[in-house]
Amino acid sequence: MTLVSTLRAAVDVDAVVALTRDLVQIPSENPGGCEAEVVSYLQDVFEEMGLGRGQIVEVVEGRRSLIVSTGDGSGNKPRLLINGHLDVVPVQPNGWRFPPYGAEVSNGRIYGRGTTDMKGGVAAAIHGLKVCQDLGLTLPCEVTFHLVADEELGGRLGTKVLVEQGIISADACVVAEPTDLKLCLGERGLLFAKIVTRGVPAHGSEPSLGRSAILVAASIAQVLHNNTFTGDPHPLLGTTTCNVGVINGGSGPNVVPEWCEMLIDRRVLPGESLESTLAGIHQRIATLELAPDEYSVEVQTFCEPSEISASEGFVSVMSDTVTAMTGRRPAITGLPFTTDARFMRNDLGIPTVVFGPGELAVAHTVDEYVEVDSLVEAASVFAGLYATFDGADSALLPLEKKASL
């Protein structure tokens, strides 16, 4: 048997399904919960694999990230980083056909919150290492897992902390978010902002005597919502977008409203900064010729966009590995939202590809699920990557020649 066929055959379907189910059955909603219980479970898993219980990073009680490595940190081998988040978005159970945390298996799918985003990816990445261990492979790289908190709300308590503490060091990185086994090389950033408008109050029976802050807000919404803000679309990410998601204002039906606020979500393309993004918003609003005191913009969250060039050596490594292990050359894609990949790409300059099982379309949805076949193929790809990643800038050698049994 070749190395490829040996690795494929060694993937234990029942084991990767069981690990996914176990992770999903531990709620870790953000906001509303924490990652501590999931981390404790994973410490047991890694201890059984002979890797010890790892390092916990916890800056807020219960918001834990776990770091586990196959190596001793000597630097004698190239380091491959696997990043995955353990938090999930909250559940409104109404409308679910399957219990959100039941992790039930039906018709080749595992259903439950976090199956796709992204506990399935975490399970596949871990099982890929177990495959290599079971086969007795000597890995050419040191594999380090960063299984982190708080990604769903921007990573402030998770990967960002690891960056700030100088913990992250790697030659390449895979973020195991759901990409339907495609290679994601770019992602949009985001700006969440609050826009407050101000009017002049008056009695509701004589609205002409006042100025409605709600009408001012409505006019701003018209020039921002569902509009684009830059020139040519990005080849992987399309155009910018803006959504006016929340609006609230006034004190009663019998008072001309003197205040109103709305929350907007502006998606950002590579090349845009916080300053240029804000400038674009103000330029659109300026077309309304409002007085300076009629509105203000307050930034609540900004996540940078990020991308990696398709010519980067690690992209070739990933593409060749996926092709060898699945028999299909992976498509190149981009993500309309942001992930923790931006920290490795932008802050640390680590070549980073987003790749994992599951379909983006079902992330965060009712009856979220992951296909068992997708989990199995992802686990085989991770196993092939661990078995062959030697830090080279290309994967020109056949996979079978880059590792030994």
Query: What is the spatial distance between Cα 27 and Cα 114, in angstroms, rounded to a whole number?
Result: 9
Across the chain, mean pLDDT equals 94
pLDDT at 400: 57
Mean pLDDT of 343-356: 97
Mean pLDDT of 183-210: 96
- Looking at 3.40.50.300, 3.40.630.10, 3.30.70.1730, 3.40.1480.10, the CATH number of the domain 3-187+306-401 comes to 3.40.630.10
Please report which confidence band the pLDDT of residue 240 belongs to, taking 50, 70 and 90 as the band edges: very high
Going through 52-126 in order, the beta strands assigned E by DSSP cover: 55-60, 63-69, 79-85, 105-106, 109-111
Single-letter amino acid, residue 53: R
Locate 388 and state its tokens: 């062959």
Domain topology for 189-303: Alpha-Beta Plaits (3.30.70)
pLDDT at 1: 73
> Which value, to the nearest 10 degrees, does the dihedral of the CA atoms of residues 27, 32, 37, 39 take?
100
Query: What is the spatial distance between Cα 2 and Cα 184, in angstroms, rounded to a whole number?
Result: 29
pLDDT at 392: 76
Going by C-alpha positions, the residue among 120, 45, 3 that lies closest to residue 378 is 120
Taking only the tens place, the pLDDT of each residue in 244-280 is: 999 999 999 999 999 999 999 999 999 999 999 999 9
Instruction: Bin 226: left if φ > 0, else alpha if -120 < ψ < 50, else beta.
Output: left
What are the residue ranges spanned by the domains of the chain?
A: 3-187+306-401, 189-303
How far the first Cα of the chain sits from its last, in Å, is 11
Least confident span in 2-6, 78-82, 108-112: 2-6
pLDDT at 397: 44
Please report which confidence band the pLDDT of residue 396 belongs to, taking 50, 70 and 90 as the band edges: very low
Taking only the tens place, the pLDDT of each residue in 49-85 is: 999 999 999 999 999 999 999 987 777 899 999 999 9
pLDDT at 404: 41
Mean pLDDT of 375-380: 98
- In contact, 88 and 119? CB cutoff 8 Å: yes
**DSSP code of 343?**
I
- 287: β partners: none
Taking only the tens place, the pLDDT of each residue in 138-153 is: 999 999 999 999 999 9
The answer for residues whose C-beta is within 8 angstroms of residue 290's C-beta and 6 or more apart is 216, 219
pLDDT at 394 over 60: no
Query: What is the spatial distance between Cα 77 and Cα 139, in angstroms, rounded to a whole number?
Result: 9
Query: What is the spatial distance between Cα 304 and Cα 270, in angstroms, rounded to a whole number?
Result: 8
Query: What is the spatial distance between Cα 318 and Cα 231, in angstroms, rounded to a whole number?
Result: 31
- Other beta carbons within 10 angstroms of residue 116's beta carbon come to 30
Please report which confidence band the pLDDT of residue 177 belongs to, taking 50, 70 and 90 as the band edges: very high
